Structure 1
């Protein structure tokens, strides 16, 4: 669930990509100048280890991407691709701009690099334009996914008129904790309700109840919002107040029914779908007995518990710090689905999604350069301590459709988000190259 989640990998990539606005359109390549060559060579060192950023980047760059954020970006690249080992090709396309390749242990990453014309010629623009993993394959990706500590599951399928056709899988039917991935079921129920003329995307409802994580928790209580705006915040930003508002407005039992409609193979394990505030509250140490009753109860018992204990299961009753650092009850208080379940849901949305598809594409989940390999890319993931999940719906340049779903659970330790993002990105890029 993205309660404690920030889509940090997406945010960091976006911040670098935003600096493309500073980059002039390239003309023809030219021999790198000594100044440009020097800054290209220094990029290798800046990417390798912290230090020297104030001398390398201009103030305008560091205003957009402060040093600590840059260091997180560089660390994410090392987590994905290994250690930077050599400078590759340099192509200068104007007096100040060009492209630089950095060879990592497992990939070659291309950067657009812009150097200020004034002395001391600091870097004013830098963004990733692409990455190519050396000699990669789905077999290697599957091996790396299976080697993750804890448990993992993964599937990628081609979506056809006859249904999803699995291409590669690792424990595709395993029921996994998937965090905020459950918000796709809320989106699907909203799609169903609008197409049945029970709701309109433009309908206005009051915001509430509030939940932790996301900008809407700071908005005025009962602020009027359209269903479309709430859905966009829920999917693109994983805003928990938006998701809890929609879950209440659409009706929990109606959203629960969507699991079976969209092809969930073990809906009983996943039901009832908890609001994010309820999940927070049940994970609280003070609610250990209530949590045990919930985990051991029948579906009817669980529904009754949520109803009868509602005053104890609100955001106002939660101390987030008590559950935000270590995995807590991820085997019982969660949103469960297998990769095959999530692929079935993505295919349902592909066929019937309508307005939902542009909403899912606001945040594509992977780096912009990798996302551009696809004609369309929609995404929803989820994370919390011990849980990471990613679900992507993609249309290739030739018009064919694919869906990918992966989950990583570890009840003993936090998972490395950047490591998992790298694996899912590799799988998506291999699919794009099919």
Structure 2
């Protein structure tokens, strides 16, 4: 019953938000009654709407509430209520070991039953950075993390665990592409509104089903690549901007060992190289210099397209995550985030579309930009955050395991704790 551990949408209907920001009396009552609903079984039919209970039967609700009690102890008090409209807001419930936030949506018509509930964030009581770092260190496989404050002179390192370890970062490499696009726009070489064809389809993402050659702006491609991690957008942008220029951004942004990851592969090339059928090519690629790798990619281009990939051979278990990948240390990623803070321009709003964590936790920051990456055996998360007092921070972390899939929800929970601890 780990459904509640990070984010579980039970059944949410978003009502139109008015200009008022005061809860109704009925909303306040339902917010207070949520404590009782989470404390013990009983009264569900009077509290939840039929619509809600059709989606989440009473037995399922009770199991989910019991799972929260098992994780965090007994619910002891209702905390703050942050209202978004007269019928929608975030309600905090204090448990013995954590404070849990819920989006609560109440029907505007009597008897004002609850029509939507969503767990949107958890803060552990008595948490500390030492406890967090110990939990990161205790992950199976290899994990690494770096947290820095970003001053005008550059990163000030605050908390680290194996911060200089070279890690597989999955789709986090797409931050290098958007950084090069931002540089090119600032230099007058490109415009965000420039239109190019969708030319290189790859696996996963909305654009995979978009017609080949569909005209798209650079901004639309960047938005899909960062907010949705769309691989077709990433491959199209990488090749349109020029692999040489995107590769140069790896060094420009502060990567300490760019030869370890260059050239930056398209997602189709990476999938293809991981295939057992291309094991001979992969061996030559891994042992080659960056220039020789570029020559291999060019010479075997037909073997390295999405159409040539049997995705089932690489999608189930960790595959070549220590050799055919995109690699960076957490400190490399912090330097990249700092470069984007100073030079990203319109890339910064794009990075903020998908904050990577639950909304209630994300709202603790004035700005929260995010890009992560995952595949079997790999998860990476990278945050550029501005605190309410104006200070900037970067958090970068990766977890690799060659032997098994990683628990992504567990890692998201750890990084959410890190952000909450820094936000204070």
TM-score of the superposition, structure 1-length normalised?
0.85
Structure 1 equivalent of residue 203 of structure 2:
212
In structure 2, relative to structure 1, the CA distance for the partners of 1:251 and 1:60 (3 Å cut) is: farther
Residue 83 of structure 1 aligns to a residue in which SS?
A: helix
Measured at CA, do residues 245 and 60 of structure 1 come closer, stay the same or move farther in structure 2, by a change above 3 Å? farther
Aligned equivalents of 2:26 and 2:44: distance in 1? 27
1:388 pairs with 2:376: no
1:346-425 to structure 2, matched below 5 A, reads 346-425=337-416
Cα distance in 2 for partners of 1:190, 1:418 equals 31
Bigger relative contact order, structure 1 or 2 (CA pairs below 8 A, ≥6 apart): 1
Q: Unaligned regions of 5+ residues in structure 2, if any?
A: none
Runs of 4+ in 1 over 6 A off after TM superposition: 8-11, 28-33, 35-38, 52-56, 91-99, 117-121
Which position in structure 2 is the counterpart of 1:136?
127
The question of 1:172 aligning with 2:163 is answered yes
Q: After superposition, where does 1:30-429 map in structure 2 within 5 Å?
A: 40-44=35-39, 58=49, 60-61=51-52, 83-90=71-78, 101-103=92-94, 106-114=97-105, 123-128=114-119, 130-429=121-420
C-alpha displacement of 1:303? 0.9
RMSD of aligned alpha carbons:
3.5
Secondary structure in 1 matching 2:324: coil
CA distance in 1: counterparts of 2:155 and 2:163, whole angstroms:
12
SS of residue matched to 1:272: coil
Q: Alpha carbons of 1:187 and 1:54: their partners in 2 closer, same or farther (altered >3 Å)? A: farther
Following TM superposition, by how much is the alpha carbon of 1:109 offset from its aligned partner in structure 2, in angstroms? 0.5
How far apart, in 2, do the equivalents of 1:183 and 1:315 lie? 18
For 1:9 and 1:276, locate their aligned partners in 2 and report how far apart those are by CA, in whole Å. 32
SS for the counterpart of 1:228 is helix
CA distance in 2, matches of 1:337, 1:274: 14
Structure 2 CA distance for aligned equivalents of residues 17 and 195 of structure 1: 44
Unaligned stretches of 5+ residues in structure 1: 1-7, 47-51
Seen in structure 2, the aligned counterparts of structure 1 residues 97 and 269 have a Cα distance that, compared at 3 Å, is: closer
The offset of 1:11, in angstroms, is: 11
Shift of residue 36 of structure 1?
A: 7.6
- SS of 1:166 mapped into structure 2: strand
Aligned residues: 412
Tell me the SS of whatever aligns to 1:180.
helix
| TM-score, length basis structure 2 | 0.86
Return closer, same or farther for 1:179/1:82 CA change in 2, 3 Å cut-off: farther
Q: Distance in 2 between matches of 1:287 and 1:57?
A: 55
How far is the alpha carbon of 1:101 from its aligned partner? Answer: 4.7
